[in-house]
Chain A
Amino acid sequence: MSVPALSVKGARRAFASTRALDDVSLDIATSQRVALLGPNGAGKTTLIRSIAGLTKLDAGAIELAGAPATSRTRRQLGLVPQDLAVHDRMTASENLHFFGRLHMVGSKTLRKRVQWALDWTALTERQDDLAGTFSGGMKRRLNIACGVLHEPNLVLLDEPTVGVDPQSRERIHGMLAALHEHGTSWILTTHMMDEAARNVDRIIVIDHGRIIADGTLDSLIADQFGEHRAIRVTVDSIPASPPTSWRITSGSAGSPGGLERDLTSLDAVTSTLDELKAGGVRITGLEVYAPTLQDVFLNLTGRELRE
């Protein structure tokens, strides 16, 4: 079995009476893409900061590629903070050079890496403009680039797409995909369930400082909802007495409306529709509903407000 890129063992951290991390343990394999989900205050940022060495653990251990996390071994980590941590009064190019220098990237390599980063973030044409003049999306891309200049094996991204438009979000996920293609692992925290569902290999849900779910999207859905699915149809005229397994969701008998019934498996879709057709119902629309990551998340963490 290969050594995990990151191993967290029994991590604990409390702030006053609040347990931000309560016996958290996890392993991240090489080249794995992981989404770390949780409500605000669940402990995501504390976990990221602990891995990065910015927050000390009260107990527990962190290993990187099998070695204890130290300032030296942490050089294989990249960090993209939630804040737009770039200097507004420096150009994109100057910011990249600055953080590259702090990561001790040599001059020759740094020049190449800066050029790569500018291309990667589509900021080449704006490289000599002050970061303060950038849009939110451009700053986010620059923020990410500053965290990966030193070619880390594992990148920690704390809400890298917060506050950006869909186009920029797509671009950022394109950038992360390109990183992954080169063998880089990453962990991102996000509240965007759809992008987590689409772009990661593994999802970890954390709440009250504890990991409460860990797996692929399918396995999490299966764990929370089993094979539950539903089929929803719209019809031109709702029959006076629909089949007993169907529920009327809108309209009334003789008028256009909607019907719904549960599905035990996707294989049963065809036979279920035949049931309606046999009763002379004309179907005008069809939707097979499956639980989403959002359903899983709300099911795990509850629907009540946290703040």
Chain B
Amino acid sequence: MILAIIKCRFLTLLRDRVSLLLVFVLPIIFYAIFAGIFGGMGDGGKIGTGILALIVDQDDTPQSRALTKALKHAGNGLRVSTTWTKNDVSHPWTLERARKQVMQSDAEAAIVLPKGMGISFTGDHLPVVQVLVDPSNPIAGTMVPGLLQQAAMIGMRSDMIRSGMNQLEFWSGELTPKQREAMDRIETLMSQETDTDVETTETSGAASTHGMLLPVKVEDAAARDTGGAARSMTVYYAAGIGVMFLLFSLAGASGAILDDKEAGILDRMFFTPLGIPRLIIANWMWLTILAVNSMIILFLFATLVFEFGPWTWPRLIAWLVLTIIASSAAAALAMLLAAICTTRAQLAGISTIVILAMSAVGGSMIPRFIMPPAILDISWYVSFNAWAVEGYLDIFWYTPQEAIFATIFSRLAPILGVLIGMTVVFLIIARLLARRWEQA
């Protein structure tokens, strides 16, 4: 009986060219447009949330601590973390842990203060500070090095001056005793004024980088794992556009029930032993199958044309599981929308409003990483897209290429749980609302 309905829907779709285009071709066209426009976007940062930078202090000298302190007061939306906590015990960030956090988008940047940095200030060569960023973030990669210059000039000015004098002596010859005495007085004076200046900077919030006095090297935190390509926006928009059009095409396809109602076919079905639960389940299963196939075609297109990936077996299986579960949730939402409406025209109107709103908030139109925190918070409660998009990003952005099943699924588990919960809730509400179809 359920198979009969699925077959019926399949045959009907197969003979409806417009619907076929809407389900399978339109998402690809829109994805190609977005991926084409934004595909090259690869360096930047979060705008709305500020920048969380993790300090990996490998040097642990007064100089590195002074720089960290200055960074903490740098303002301009920079938030600094020096430790992570487990069982109420704080641990300093290590390079690997910080890199992982940036890759998982839990932080925007990691600033690595290299061992020997303090000593280097007294020598001939300035230390190279490594900054790890997520290349999909359009601001962090340019903002953090600038803030580092500002912090260095405020927190380590005496070291910077000494370093500058060392450079001068190296290139122009040794200072005279009188010159050296003057420089020592300036250095002492500068070190006494540091705290006052920090307060001033924090209050004014002014940004002043003074050029690259402190050498900084910006690196892609994921480069070692994915070669950098995996975080291209083509990945983001495959998820975003895919999920949005999944909803549009399923909402359209769920209207078949309303067509049946208008044609009297639904009455005829209810006269058979079918019943509402089986009708809902059959249509939901059909929509899920349709959605999974639509996503397969879209991601296949993305892989072939936009070099989406890289694919690994764990990623492929995680993608398949997420696609099936997200599709089932989208199908349940489409069933709910159909159950709310009484006519196809009503469904078209309501579903357009609901889907556009959820897509805008959920990140199908605008990248989630540039959204303000308030919108991000709301999106978890009101948008199916938010969960599905984050799920795909978890697989292709936030877990390294060599990640094993357990790593990927431990990250995906909450998302899968929420999507399954959505499916159940949407189907139950759809079932309750569909009672009015049964009895006129």
Residues on A facing B (Cβ under 8 Å):
49, 52-56, 71, 74-75, 77, 79, 81-87, 89-90, 94, 97-99, 101-104, 130, 146-147
Give A157 Cβ to nearest chain B Cβ, in Å. Answer: 13
- 17 A-B pairs in the complex with CB atoms less than 8 angstroms apart: A56-B439, A79-B268, A81-B264, A82-B264, A83-B264, A83-B265, A84-B264, A85-B263, A85-B264, A86-B265, A98-B8, A99-B268, A102-B1, A102-B273, A103-B272, A103-B273, A130-B15
Give chain B residues whose Cβ lies under 8 Å from the Cβ of A53. Answer: 270-271
Give chain A residues whose Cβ lies under 8 Å from the Cβ of B15. Answer: 89, 130
Give B122 Cβ to nearest chain A Cβ, in Å. Answer: 83
Give chain A residues whose Cβ lies under 8 Å from the Cβ of B272. Answer: 99, 102-104
Query: In residues 1-53 of chain B, which contact A (Cβ within 8 Å)?
Result: 1, 3-5, 7-8, 11-12, 15-16
Minimum CB distance partner of B3 in chain A: A101
Give B109 Cβ to nearest chain A Cβ, in Å. Answer: 56
Complex Cα gap A90–B5 (Å): 12
Using A53-B271, A89-B11 as known contacts, list a sample of 19 further A-B pairs with CB atoms less than 8 Å apart, ordered by residue number in A. A55-B439, A55-B440, A71-B275, A75-B273, A82-B264, A83-B263, A83-B264, A85-B264, A85-B267, A87-B8, A87-B11, A87-B12, A89-B12, A90-B12, A99-B268, A101-B1, A101-B4, A102-B1, A104-B272
Q: Is the CB of A85 within 8 A of B16?
A: no
Give chain A residues whose Cβ lies under 8 Å from the Cβ of B264. Answer: 81-85
Complex Cα gap A147–B271 (Å): 10
Which of A71, A77, A85, A103: most chain B Cβ within 10 A? A85
Q: Does B274 touch A at the CB level, under 8 Å?
A: yes
B residues contacting the other copy or chain, number (CB 8 A): 24
On whether A49 and B440 interact (CB within 8 A), knowing A71-B273, A94-B11, the answer reads yes
Minimum CB distance partner of A75 in chain B: B273
Give chain B residues whose Cβ lies under 8 Å from the Cβ of A85. Answer: 263-265, 267-268
Give B429 Cβ to nearest chain A Cβ, in Å. Answer: 22
Q: Does B420 touch A at the CB level, under 8 Å?
A: no
Give chain B residues whose Cβ lies under 8 Å from the Cβ of A81. Answer: 264, 267-268
Complex Cα gap A89–B265 (Å): 13
On whether A79 and B12 interact (CB within 8 A), knowing A49-B440, A84-B263, A85-B264, the answer reads no
Q: Does B190 touch A at the CB level, under 8 Å?
A: no
- Cross-interface CB contact of A98 among B4, B273, B439, cutoff 8 Å: B4
Give B282 Cβ to nearest chain A Cβ, in Å. Answer: 10
Which of A56, A89, A97, A130: most chain B Cβ within 10 A? A89
Give chain B residues whose Cβ lies under 8 Å from the Cβ of A49. Answer: 267, 440
Complex Cα gap A122–B270 (Å): 27
Minimum CB distance partner of B15 in chain A: A89
Q: Is the CB of B271 within 8 A of A79?
A: yes
Give A41 Cβ to nearest chain B Cβ, in Å. Answer: 15
Give A73 Cβ to nearest chain B Cβ, in Å. Answer: 12
Give chain A residues whose Cβ lies under 8 Å from the Cβ of B265. Answer: 83, 85-87
Give chain A residues whose Cβ lies under 8 Å from the Cβ of B440. Answer: 49, 54-55
